C-alpha cells in the first residue's frame, strides 16, 4: 500500500507539472526525458526485414531511473489494448494520422490493476507483436481473413519508422491526460514480399483454420518445411494452440525447450502471453518468489529468458498465479 500511494502521488505530480519535454536524436538509442529523464525506454527489432503478414515483434527495455517505483498496467506490452501506442513517422518526420493507412483502434480496455512495479534501478525486458498498428486485414489482403497470426492487422511492403508512447492515464477515470509518461527511441524496420512457398503456406494456414485441427496442422507444417522463414512463427502458433489453458502439461516443457533450442534469440522469449505457461510449469510447486527465482537461475541458461525472469514483480505474478 505504501508503494501504491507513492505511485498515485507521482502520477498526480506528473499530471500537474510534467509539461517540459526533451527530444533526443534518433540515430542513437537514448532515453526520452520526461520530468528530468526518470524513465528510459528503448525498442529494437530482432531483424531489419520482415515478410508481408509476418508477425513483427518489438523488444522493449525499460529502466526506472527515478527514486520512486513506477507503476505499469499490463497494457504496457499488450497489443490488445490501445492506451499505449506506436507512432509512425513519414519521410518528413510528420506523424501519420488515423486517416492514413495506419489505423488507431476504436476501443480502450483500461486495466486499473497494476501488473508491474519497477522499483528504483529496476529494468523490465519485454516484447510485443505490433501488427495491429498496421493496416486492417480485409478481402484485398489474403483469403478474406480478418484475423491472422494472432493479429487483425499487417504491414505491407515498405519501410517503417516509429516510436512507442506510453501515455499518462488518470488513475481513477482511465482517461488520457494528453501527456506522455515516457516514449522510446525511434526505430526502423522493412517489409518485403513473400516468396512462392510462403504465399502457399499462408493460404494453407487460413484455409485449414476453417476445417482442421490447428495443432495437427501446425505440427505438420513444422515437420514438412524445416527451412521455411516462417517456421519460428508456425512453431509459436503450434505451442500456443496446443497449450491454451495449460492443457497437456506433461509435454509442455519439452515442446517449449525444443523451441528455445531452435530459436534461442527469438523475441517470443520476452513475450508474456507466450512465456507464462513455460515459467509457470517450471515453478508451479513453489510458493515463495526467492526460492522460485533461485531454482530458475540454476536451471535456465538462455540469456533472453534470464532477462525475462530478472524482474522480480513479473516472477511474483507468475508464482501467485496472477495471469493464469
Residue 225's pLDDT is what? Answer: 93
3-state SS class at 278: helix
Calculate the average pLDDT of the chain: 75
- DSSP conformation letters of 257-292: HHHHHH-TT-GGGG-HHHHHHHHHHHHTT--SHHHH
Question: How far, rounded to the nearest angstrom, does the alpha carbon of residue 228 sit from its chain's CA centroid?
Answer: 24
Task: Of 40-44, 77-81, 250-254, give the lowest mean pLDDT range.
Answer: 77-81
Report which secondary-structure segment, H or E, holds 177. Answer: strand 176-183
Question: Residues 89-104: pLDDT tens digits?
Answer: 877 776 764 333 333 4
Q: What is the DSSP letter of 277?
A: H
Degrees to nearest 5, angle at CA 282 with 281 and 288: 105
Cell triple for 175: 482517461
Helix then strand count (H, E) for the chain reads 9, 14
What percent of the chain shows pLDDT beyond 70?
Answer: 68
Closest CA to 108 of 65, 68, 154, 75: 75
What is the grid cell recorded at 239?
A: 505451442
Q: Which has the higher per-residue pLDDT, 181 or 238?
A: 238
Place of cell 501467485: 320
Alpha carbons 205 and 185: distance in angstroms, whole number: 35
pLDDT of residue 44: 94
Q: Which residues pair with residue 89 across a beta bridge?
A: 95, 161
Q: Are 32 and 185 in contact (CB under 8 A)?
A: yes
- Helix (H), strand (E) at residue 117: strand 116-118
The cell numbers describing 222, all together, are 513444422
Which range, 13-17, 269-273, 284-288, is most confident?
Answer: 269-273
Amino acid at each position: 500500500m505504501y508503494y501504491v500511494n507513492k505511485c498515485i502521488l507521482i502520477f498526480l505530480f506528473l499530471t500537474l507539472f510534467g509539461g517540459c519535454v526533451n527530444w533526443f536524436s534518433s540515430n542513437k538509442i537514448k532515453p526520452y526525458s520526461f520530468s528530468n529523464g526518470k524513465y528510459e525506454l528503448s525498442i529494437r527489432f530482432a531483424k531489419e526485414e520482415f515478410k508481408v503478414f509476418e508477425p513483427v515483434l518489438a523488444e522493449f527495455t525499460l529502466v526506472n531511473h527515478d527514486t520512486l517505483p513506477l507503476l505499469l498496467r499490463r497494457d504496457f506490452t499488450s497489443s490488445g489494448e490501445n492506451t499505449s501506442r506506436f507512432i509512425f513517422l513519414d519521410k518528413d518526420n510528420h506523424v501519420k494520422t488515423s486517416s492514413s493507412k495506419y489505423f488507431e483502434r476504436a476501443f480502450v480496455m483500461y486495466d486499473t490493476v497494476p501488473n508491474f512495479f519497477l522499483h528504483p534501478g529496476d529494468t523490465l525486458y519485454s516484447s510485443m507483436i505490433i501488427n495491429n498498428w498496421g493496416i486492417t486485414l480485409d478481402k484485398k489482403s489474403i483469403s478474406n481473413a480478418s484475423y491472422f497470426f494472432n493479429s487483425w492487422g499487417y504491414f505491407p511492403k515498405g519501410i517503417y519508422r516509429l516510436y512507442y508512447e506510453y501515455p499518462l492515464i488518470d488513475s481513477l477515470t482511465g482517461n488520457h491526460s494528453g501527456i506522455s509518461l515516457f516514449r522510446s527511441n525511434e526505430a526502423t524496420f522493412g517489409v518485403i514480399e513473400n516468396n512462392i512457398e510462403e504465399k502457399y503456406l499462408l493460404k494453407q494456414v487460413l484455409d485449414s483454420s476453417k476445417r482442421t485441427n490447428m495443432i495437427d496442422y501446425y505440427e505438420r507444417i513444422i515437420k514438412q518445411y524445416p527451412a521455411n522463414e516462417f517456421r519460428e512463427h508456425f512453431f509459436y502458433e503450434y505451442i500456443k494452440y496446443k497449450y491454451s489453458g495449460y492443457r497437456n502439461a506433461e509435454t509442455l516443457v519439452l515442446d517449449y525447450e525444443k523451441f528455445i533450442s531452435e530459436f534461442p534469440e527469438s523475441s517470443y522469449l520476452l513475450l508474456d502471453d507466450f512465456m507464462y505457461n513455460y515459467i509457470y510449469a517450471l515453478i508451479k510447486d513453489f510458493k515463495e518468489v526467492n526460492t522460485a527465482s533461485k531454482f530458475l537461475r540454476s536451471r535456465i541458461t538462455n540469456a533472453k529468458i534470464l532477462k525475462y525472469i530478472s524482474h522480480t514483480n513479473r516472477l511474483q505474478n507468475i508464482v501467485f498465479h496472477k495471469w493464469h
